[in-house]
């Protein structure tokens, strides 16, 4: 659970969008913006307000890479898992990051500094393999450069 999460705050956020046509996505954005995560309790409240099953709201919240249903680290590293990046050696980069950080993709470092995730195409196939850190793209990175890149964060 997020330390700063309160039912009142989420209720207030959801109330802003309850009468908006297609208000679910804007509500998810607002909750994510405030807490950097969509708490399970918020999924339930969204379900009640928008009269949509929790499973469908969870599906939306987990479909978009922007949203998280689990607490993420301060810096989110996303690896493109599209075919061009895969063919260009993304798996080797992922393995190097996992080794350097001591975590696997989908996990967060114990100090909360980094989360490793996969995402779909970031729109830079010509530069494959591509990864992003906090939405900043990196390409043409050698495994030897990883410690230097991580040190910046």
Q: What CATH number did the domain enclosing 95 receive?
A: 3.40.30.10
In angstroms, rounded to a whole number, what is the distance separating the alpha carbons of residues 30 and 7? Answer: 14
What value does the mean pLDDT take over residues 71-99? 93
- Do 122 and 145 reside in the same domain of the chain? yes
- 100, 143 contact by CB (below 8 A): no
Q: Structural domain of residue 52, as residue ranges?
A: 7-63
* Domain final residue, candidates 38, 63, 88: 63
What value does the mean pLDDT take over residues 76-83? 92
Domain count, the chain: 2
- Do 79 and 59 reside in the same domain of the chain? no
- Do 54 and 98 reside in the same domain of the chain? no
What value does the mean pLDDT take over residues 116-121? 88
Residue 35 lies in a domain: yes
- Do 47 and 88 reside in the same domain of the chain? no
pLDDT of 143 higher than 90: yes
pLDDT of 1 higher than 90: no
Beta strand extents in the chain (DSSP E only): 75-80, 114-119, 130-133, 136-139
Q: Which band of pLDDT confidence, cut at 50, 70 and 90, is reported for residue 5?
A: low
- Do 45 and 98 reside in the same domain of the chain? no
In angstroms, rounded to a whole number, what is the distance separating the alpha carbons of residues 29 and 85? Answer: 28
What value does the mean pLDDT take over residues 118-122? 86
Side-chain half-sphere exposure of 144, counting CA atoms within 13 A: 0
Strand partners, 115: 76, 108
- Do 146 and 99 reside in the same domain of the chain? yes
Q: How many helical (H) and strand (E) elements, i.e. helices and strands, does the chain have?
A: 7, 4
- Do 53 and 102 reside in the same domain of the chain? no
- Do 41 and 86 reside in the same domain of the chain? no
Residue 69 lies in a domain: no
Q: Which band of pLDDT confidence, cut at 50, 70 and 90, is reported for residue 2?
A: very low
Q: Which band of pLDDT confidence, cut at 50, 70 and 90, is reported for residue 135?
A: confident
Better pLDDT: 85 or 36: 85
- Do 29 and 90 reside in the same domain of the chain? no
Residue 68 lies in a domain: no
């Amino acid at each position: 659970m997020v330390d700063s999460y309160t039912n009142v705050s989420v209720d207030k956020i959801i109330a802003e969008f309850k009468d908006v046509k297609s208000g679910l996505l804007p509500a998810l954005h607002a909750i994510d913006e405030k807490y950097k995560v969509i708490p399970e309790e918020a999924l339930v409240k969204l379900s009640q307000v928008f009269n949509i099953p929790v499973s469908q709201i969870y599906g939306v919240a987990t479909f978009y890479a922007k949203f998280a249903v689990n607490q993420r680290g301060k810096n989110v590293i996303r690896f493109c898992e599209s075919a061009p990046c895969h063919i260009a050696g993304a798996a080797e980069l992922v393995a190097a990051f996992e080794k350097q950080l001591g975590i696997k993709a989908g996990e967060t470092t114990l100090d909360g500094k980094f989360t490793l995730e996969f995402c779909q195409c970031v729109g830079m196939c010509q530069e494959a393999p591509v990864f992003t850190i906090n939405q900043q793209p990196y390409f043409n990175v050698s495994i030897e450069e990883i410690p230097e890149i991580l040190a910046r964060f």
